[in-house]
Homo-oligomer: A and B are copies of this chain.
Amino acid sequence: MAEPVRLALIGCGRIAQVAHLPALEKAEGIELIAVSDLSAAVARSVAGRYGVPAAHTDPSPIWADDAVEAVLITAPDRFHHTLSTQALEAGKHVLVEKPLASTVRDAEDLVALVDRTGLVLQVGAMKRHDQGLQYARAFVADRLGAARSFNAWYRIGDLRPGIEATLFPPVFAETEARRHEASLKADRQRYLLATHGAHIFDTVRFLLGDVASVVARHRQDERDHVWQVLLTTTAGAVGTVTIAVDVPGLPAEGIEVYGAAGWLRVDTQFPFYRQASSVQAYADGAVVSPTFTDGDAYERQLESFARTIRSGGRPDPDVRDGLAAVRLIESTATAVEIGGEVKL
Contact = CB atoms under 8 A, between A and B. Distances in A.
A206 interface: no
Contact of A242 (B215, B240, B247): B240
A79 interface: no
Contact of A290 (B22, B169, B260, B285): B285
Interface in A110-158: 145-146, 148-149, 151, 153, 155
B242 A151 contact: yes
A219 B261 contact: no
A225 to B, nearest CB: 10
Contact of A228 (B159, B169, B170, B239): B239
A224 interface: yes
Interface string A159-184: 10111011101100000000000000
A252 B79 CA distance: 45
Contact of A148 (B159, B224, B232, B299): B224
Contacts of A307: none
B290 A286 contact: yes
B226 A148 contact: yes
A126 to B, nearest CB: 14
Given A166-B296, A248-B258, A148 B219 contact: yes
A261 B170 CA distance: 30
A238 B258 contact: no
Report the interface size class on chain A: 35 or more
A7 to B, nearest CB: 17
A155 to B, nearest CB: 7
A249 B263 contact: yes
Contacts of A49: 49
Contacts of A274: 166-167, 273
Nearest to A45: B51
A227 B149 CA distance: 9
21 contacts: A145-B248, A148-B219, A148-B221, A148-B244, A149-B228, A151-B151, A162-B293, A162-B294, A166-B294, A167-B274, A215-B215, A215-B230, A218-B238, A219-B237, A227-B238, A240-B240, A248-B263, A273-B274, A286-B288, A289-B289, A340-B341
Q: Which 3 A/B pairs are nearest by Cβ-Cβ distance?
A: A162-B293, A217-B238, A240-B240
